[in-house]
Structure 1
């Protein structure tokens, strides 16, 4: 059963506690001393440590994970929290992909089914309370921010062409966003007909 074994017996400080986490430097270990330093010394508040482990914010040895650090970005906190909830309550979301929209009584019934009657009514109620309060603080609609990089303009490199002593006309053309410089080396000739033929061909096929 992919449902967290950790839950809160009271959620009155949950929002404030998560907010305090976002404004504090991440600890080396999220222990009771750190929790008390945030201003939450109550025994009820201590249960949040197990919930944070279930959400993937802390490792089993209570050290902040990558998800914890991403949560500290206040523009992404609610989205990251939703990510952790989906992972922690995976079985519930398999039953209902929009489980965050279920009422508390509906969540209790789903938990009862998923646990196959192994959990007491009291535990089911507190589990549902914890889930329902967490989803209120999460953003399940917004996707995690991604940076899209616009492709840079491709410019064809200039091709070095050896120039002869004779003059060589050039033409500039654009095709599909690519810029080409075309250079023609004129032959050594004193016959004007040769040049007339070359310029006529150039005008017909290039210019």
Structure 2
């Protein structure tokens, strides 16, 4: 069964509006008056972007700004907020390719045609691809790593990263420590270390370096 995919025929206006939203105060409701007065964007193309903001989940059906809208205004979370909205907008494409945001234009075009049943050269198909590409350029899709809590625990005056909720457990066996006396006691202990869910090798290097310096010894 063919599915409709969201698109904007005024994607340039939409991207401009998103930029203006970052600096404008949060209104009680996102209306045409807000867009034309506070965002200084007049005309039908600007007003037509409001329904798309609702599809993105930035504006509720009654015009109220959502938590996603407020998250988007945070400079450190803007790209994350758009990335979440992108996955919501193109959920049908993600069911066909879970890495659609990394796919080539030709691959995405094929998915759009397959999903919608439209012609590859139609104005709707082209507008859908243009909208998708414009949004993925201002998105961050590494949401899991960005949302992870970067907690630290002090050890001997320095900090060792504490694992985020989603992690990979690793176990280290510390060899027995012998006392210098004739009747020594052999002690051994195990460290269970939860590694962060990340592909950044530098994160692991930092963890193991701290572990070696402060717990295992040189």
TM bucket (normalised to shorter chain) is 0.5 to 0.7
Rounded Cα–Cα distance in structure 2 between residues aligned with 1:152 and 1:65: 38
Rounded Cα–Cα distance in structure 2 between residues aligned with 1:29 and 1:119: 37
Partner of 2:79: 78
Partner of 1:43: 44
1:115 deviates by 1.9
How many aligned residue pairs are there?
154
Rounded Cα–Cα distance in structure 1 between residues aligned with 2:41 and 2:30: 13
- Relative to structure 1, the CA distance from residue 149 to residue 60 in structure 2 (aligned partners, 3 Å threshold; closer, same or farther) is same
Q: Which runs of 5+ in 1 are unaligned?
A: 154-175, 177-207
1:68 deviates by 0.9
Asked if 1:9 corresponds to 2:5, the answer is no
| 1:150-173 superposed Cα distances (whole Å, 9 cap, x missing partner) | 5699xxxxxxxxxxxxxxxxxxxx
Partner of 2:201: none
| Preserved CA contact (<8 Å) 2:30 2:64 | yes
Partner of 2:18: 18
Q: Which runs of 5+ in 2 are unaligned?
A: 156-188, 190-218
Matches within 5 A, 1:115-154: 115-117=116-118, 121-141=122-142, 143-150=145-152
| Preserved CA contact (<8 Å) 1:3 1:90 | no
Partner of 2:67: 66
* Larger displacement relative to structure 2 (39-48 or 68-77): 39-48
TM-score by length of structure 2 reads 0.61
Superposition RMSD in Å: 2.9
Rounded Cα–Cα distance in structure 2 between residues aligned with 1:148 and 1:30: 34
Rounded Cα–Cα distance in structure 1 between residues aligned with 2:83 and 2:2: 16
Relative contact order: is structure 1 or structure 2 higher (C-alpha 8 Å, sep ≥ 6)? Answer: 1
Rounded Cα–Cα distance in structure 1 between residues aligned with 2:105 and 2:43: 25
1:149 deviates by 4.3
Rounded Cα–Cα distance in structure 2 between residues aligned with 1:33 and 1:120: 36
1:148 deviates by 4.3
1:28 deviates by 1.1
1:118 deviates by 9.0
**What SS does structure 2 have at the residue aligned with 1:97?**
coil
- Relative to structure 1, the CA distance from residue 77 to residue 151 in structure 2 (aligned partners, 3 Å threshold; closer, same or farther) is same
| Preserved CA contact (<8 Å) 2:57 2:85 | yes
Partner of 2:205: none
Asked if 1:30 corresponds to 2:56, the answer is no
Rounded Cα–Cα distance in structure 2 between residues aligned with 1:52 and 1:4: 17
1:3 deviates by 6.5
Rounded Cα–Cα distance in structure 1 between residues aligned with 2:70 and 2:153: 30
Q: From the CA coordinates, give the structure whose radius of gyration is larger.
A: 1
